[in-house]
Each structure stands twice: as structure tokens, then as C-alpha cells.
Structure 1
Amino acid sequence: MTNRYDAEGAQSRFQPGSNEQVLSNKLGLCDPEEMDDAELVLLEKLYQSVLIEDLPDRSITIEDLQDWHRQWLGNIYPWAGDVRAVDLGKDGFFFAAAPQIPRLLDGFEKSCLAKYTPCGPDLDENLIHAIAVTHVEFILIHPFREGNERLSRLLADVMAVQAGYVPLDYSSWERNKEAYFSAIHQGLNGNYEPMEYWVRQALWT
């Protein structure tokens, strides 16, 4: 088990020479674009592994998510697969406080992953609701130091493929980022309908 304070230190450090634009990494990369490229190449390999070579036909677990994160970023970051030990926010919105993450992940596994996965082929609107709730709750927790949005999309794609669909087309989310983030925020109050709209766009386009 990772020492929380060691993890916090490692997760707080930036790569020397990166002007605090790139997290400290095993590759010694300082350029954000080079890091994006490296992460993308490894993400494609993860998709190949999870969606094509070994699609899980059972309930997804928190351990699966940690394994996927480690498989994806383990060659880049020493803390890959570990839960976040630092607080994170985006555009003035703060995700779950780091000390709360283990408890929140336990609840997420019970109320989302165990409840909705594996997704069956007869879900349709239920599938949209399942993906929307799971996506919102995962993003609000933001359990990892890096890569939460991309991992959340992999999880949504796994759920869709389990149900017999193809992976989602996220282009509408990219074109409407403000509305997408608004849908995430509305999930704080248990309102998942806005996110269901965006899942419907991504699933049926």
C-alpha cells in the first residue's frame, strides 16, 4: 500500500524545466505536447487491451479502474494506479477532497459499478442512464492525479460494448464543453438528465 505522504509528494512534483506544465515523470518529458502524445499512444494500447483483447463480461470494480490506470500510465508516472493524494479543481470547481476519495470510491463501486455492470443488450434508455450516472459520479470524485476524463470515457465505452453497442462518439462533448461541464455539475444535486442528453448524443450518432 502506498504511503499517503510519499504519494502526495510525488503527485505534487513537476518535471524540472517544464515551467510547472508537466508532472514529474519517468520519461523526463518537459513539453506538454510531447507528454500528450506519449499518453495518447499508451491510451490506444489500453483500449486495444480492454475493449478488444479482454473485454470484461462481469461487473467492473475499483480494482479494474486502478489496474487500467496503472496499465496506461505506469511507464510514465510512479503513482499510476494510486488514488489521488492532492486536491484538484478546474475552472474554480473543486473535485472531491483527497482524504474522502477511498470512502467515495467504495460507495461508487456499490451504487454504480455493481449496480449497472455488466451492461446487458436490452438496456437502451437504461443504458443511457447507467452511463450518465456512472460518468458523472466518477468525474465528481476524480480519483486519480491525472487522466480521469479519459479513463471515465473508457469506462463508458466498456459499458456500451458490454451492451452490444460500439464505443461512444465524444465529438459532441468536445464541441460543447461548457454544456458538458454544466451537466457534470448538475449531477451534484442528483440531476442526471443533462448528462443523459450528452450520452444519448454520443451513443446514437
Structure 2
Amino acid sequence: MELQKNGFTWPPAYLVPQNMAYLESTLLRTHTPCPAEPVEKVARRMAEVHAELLLIHPFREGNGRLARSIADLMAIQAGFALPLYRFAGRDSKAEKALYLQSVISGYAQRYAPLTDFFVDAIERGARS
């Protein structure tokens, strides 16, 4: 069964085990536990893991929540406050749209927008 959303088709389900093994042996091995580094470097590590996990799309539902939980753990491992995502309340629609566009850029290994998204979320978390 192929999963699609908004015209995007994720890789076929039969590739999930192979793609997850590759993610584990590459990015997860080098990026976790996440070392204490400047926020931009940590956010870049978070963005890479986040986008690649979402591209694999191992579950029918909950991939975004899981990926954000992993990003949260990476931020905490690096000594930062829990990132604060504005997905509810005022400005949430714009924040969700920015997040989605950043994730889509990450699918093409253009991680800068998602890195910026995580820097902002970490800094918001530190202020709250």
C-alpha cells in the first residue's frame, strides 16, 4: 500500500526496514546522543534526523509526532530546553505551514529551513 498526501508519495512500505536500518547506521549513529554544541549545529542534526525519518514514513499515522519527540530528546541531550512548537493557538496555521515547507525541503536534503525552524523552537522553549 502506497501512502500519499497532498500529491506526495512516500517510499514503498517494503523499503521501510532497509531504510530504517540505514538511518540507524548513519544519522542516528553519528547524531545521537546529541552532543552539547551551539544551537545551530544541534538544530542541524535535529533537522537531518527529522526529515530523513519522515521521508521513510514507517507508520501510517504519528510519524510527525514521533519525529518531533526524537528532536525534543536530541535538544535535551545537548543541554537545551524543550523546543516549543506553536502548533496550537494564535499563529498556529502559519507555523504548521512553515514546518511542512521546511520538512519538504528536508526531503531534498535542503536542511536549512528545518534547521532554522528548530533554532526558533529551541529559543522559544528557552524563553518560556
TM-score (norm 1): 0.54
Matched, 1:87 2:2: yes
Q: SS of the counterpart of 2:35?
A: coil
Q: More deviation in 146-155 or 117-126?
A: 117-126
Is the aligned partner of 1:203 residue 2:122?
Answer: yes
Structure 1 residue 124: deviation in Å? Answer: 2.5
Match for 2:26 among 97, 111, 114? 111
Q: Which runs of 5+ in 1 are unaligned?
A: 1-85
RMSD over aligned Cα atoms: 1.7
Shift of 1:123: 4.1
Write out per-residue CA displacement over residues 99-135 of structure 1, whole angstroms, 9 at most, x where no aligned residue: 1111111111122110100112234321011001111
Q: Quick one: percent identity of the two aligned structures?
A: 34
In structure 2, the residue matched to 1:121 is 36
**Higher alpha-carbon Rg:** 1
What is the rounded CA distance, in whole Å, between the counterparts of 2:107 and 2:54 in structure 1? 11
Higher relative contact order (CA 8 A, sep 6+): 2
Q: Does 1:135 align with 2:50?
A: yes
Matching residue of 1:170: 85
Q: Which structure 1 residue ranges, 4+ long, deviate > 6 Å from structure 2? A: none
Residue 164 of structure 1: how far off its partner (Å): 1.0
Shift of 1:179: 2.5
| CA–CA separation in structure 2 for the residues paired with 1:123 and 1:137 | 22
Count of matched residue pairs: 120
**1:40-89 residue CA offsets vs partner (Å, 9 max, x unmatched):** xxxxxxxxxxxxxxxxxxxxxxxxxxxxxxxxxxxxxxxxxxxxxx4212
- Higher helix share goes to which structure? 2
TM-score relative to the length of structure 2: 0.84
